[in-house]
Amino acid sequence: MSRALARSAPVPEPVVVVGTGMVGSSVGCALTEAGFQVHLEDAVPTHAQVAASLGAGTAAPADPAAVGLVVVAVPPRAISAVVADALSRFPAAAVTDVGSVKSRPLAELQQRVDDVSRYVGSHPMAGSHVAGPTAADPFLFLDRTWVVCEHPTADPAAVAAVEALVRACRARLVRMDPVEHDAAVAHVSHLPHLVSSLVAGVLRDLPADHLALAGQGVRDVTRVAAGDPRLWEQIVGMNAEVISVELGALQTRLDALREALGDGPAALTDWLEQGRAGTRRIPGKHGGAHTEWARMVVEIPDAPNALGRLFTDIGDAGLNVEDITIEHDPTRRVGYLSLDVEADTRDTLAALLTDAGWSVEAAGR
Ligand SMILES: NC(=O)c1ccc[n+]([C@@H]2O[C@H](COP(=O)([O-])OP(=O)(O)OC[C@H]3O[C@@H](n4cnc5c(N)ncnc54)[C@H](O)[C@@H]3O)[C@@H](O)[C@H]2O)c1
Ligand SMILES: O=C(O)C(=O)C[C@]1(C(=O)O)C=C[C@@H](O)C=C1
């Protein structure tokens, strides 16, 4: 098959998803929504049944000879064994995995099987700190980056099948070799996770009256630390060589930051400017240019359809809302809805909502 033809090919079905946790069941839901036939397998059969009940496919077994693509969505240390098993059980299928690390699983697979040409690893840069099939989301990959890591002996038809999967899940395809991938995710995913865990770990020993002051800042910095430690031990452990170097560089920067505390306002401002400059280099969530977001908080009374009315008023304003979070006041019967909006639209939206009778406050940035 020529590469040009192969790249525009559809997803070869039926598809089998092995590992129906958060990512696997989301793949199943996205493919099922797109009209593909999906079979679900998991070492814990109830996970496959729950995923099936949420629209990720069927838990009935597939005809092995007919399977066109296998998506392996198991924890990193299990990937090479499960991919090897899939290559043997489904003799006509392309096989991919969605693991967060790419070099070690490929090297392990090459130790297990002679011919890895039907395997092409991949990695969707979308996820959640919540594990298991109940976190299934058919839109998880929408406009998110999905890296396809071709290796030198990959069959072009298998590459095409995996790229078709990425497109069917409506993600943005990026091609990268496994070693470069692992260096990149060490920077943009693994190190941020470890730093989040470091900060969150300190919270364990804080007195309750200090924790009571926790605002959105500490929540933003620690969200990913709530992820499953058993999964993250595997992700970090399988990319440990790269991460160890990055931790060393971070340690040097931590020492220098500590020194700067005694060097006066200019030195400290310089550190903070460096951080701000870094945040501005992060592309927009959906791959577009970086957007400056501003947060506003709206008080929601504990009344029927209050949220419905608020969303109608926001919709009427016709302005883009990037993200929302809701918190409940521990002492009053109200909730607080934080809205992240484009920075230059915050004042307009705040004024419109205030006119409509809502209690609105600008927050932070
Ligand atoms: N969590 C994220 O944000 C995220 C994002 C992108 C990619 N990933 C990668 O996706 C993969 C799955 O992560 P997840 O977050 O969905 O985890 P999860 O814990 O939600 O799901 C993993 C599933 O795999 C099953 N499983 C474990 N070993 C198995 C085996 N040998 N055979 C069959 N099933 C097995 C488990 O029972 C579970 O249902 C991991 O490799 C992870 O690195 C995770
Ligand atoms: O959003 C989150 O909770 C994530 O941590 C997702 C995230 C990431 O670091 O961006 C985590 C691990 C994956 O391998 C890919 C995506």
Pocket test for ligand 1, best of 23, 230, 235 (most atoms within 8 A of CB): 23
**What local confidence, expressed as pLDDT, does residue 1 receive?**
35
Give the C-alpha separation, 329 to 316, whole Å: 27
**What local confidence, expressed as pLDDT, does residue 336 receive?**
86
Question: Left, alpha or beta for 318 (phi > 0: left; psi -120 to 50: alpha)?
Answer: left
> What are the residue ranges in the chain where pLDDT is below 70?
1-9, 285-290, 330, 364-365
Pocket test for ligand 2, best of 27, 98, 100 (most atoms within 8 A of CB): 100
Domains along the chain?
3-177 (3.40.50.720), 182-280 (1.10.3660.10), 293-363 (3.30.70.260)
Which amino acid is it at 360? V
Give the C-alpha separation, 7 to 304, whole Å: 51
**What local confidence, expressed as pLDDT, does residue 140 receive?**
96
Place of tokens 């490929």: 106
**Gap from CA of 195 to ligand 1 centroid (Å):** 22
**Gap from CA of 140 to ligand 1 centroid (Å):** 15
Q: Which atom of ligand 2 is nearest to the CA of 189?
A: 9
CB neighbour burial string for 5-29, b if at least 16 within 10 angstroms, e if fewer: ebeebebbbbbbbbbbbbbbbbbbb
**What local confidence, expressed as pLDDT, does residue 290 receive?**
66
**What local confidence, expressed as pLDDT, does residue 157 receive?**
97
- The answer to whether residues 103 and 96 touch, using CB atoms and an 8 Å cutoff, is no
Q: What is the pTM of this model?
A: 0.84
Place of tokens 């996970």: 47
The binding-site residues of ligand 2, defined as CB within 6 angstroms of any ligand atom, are 100, 125-129, 189, 224
**Gap from CA of 188 to ligand 2 centroid (Å):** 9
**What local confidence, expressed as pLDDT, does residue 308 receive?**
85
Pocket test for ligand 2, best of 23, 125, 190 (most atoms within 8 A of CB): 125
Q: From the CB of residue 130, how many other CB atoms can be counted at a distance below 10 Å?
A: 13
Q: Which atom of ligand 2 is nearest to the CA of 224?
A: 3
The binding-site residues of ligand 1, defined as CB within 6 angstroms of any ligand atom, are 18-24, 42-44, 47, 73-76, 78, 82, 98-100, 124, 127-128, 131-132, 228, 231, 235
**283 upstream amide cis, omega within 30 of 0:** no
**Gap from CA of 287 to ligand 2 centroid (Å):** 15
Nearest in space to 19 (alpha carbons), one of 237, 234, 193? 234
DSSP, collapsed to helix, strand or coil, labels residue 76 as helix
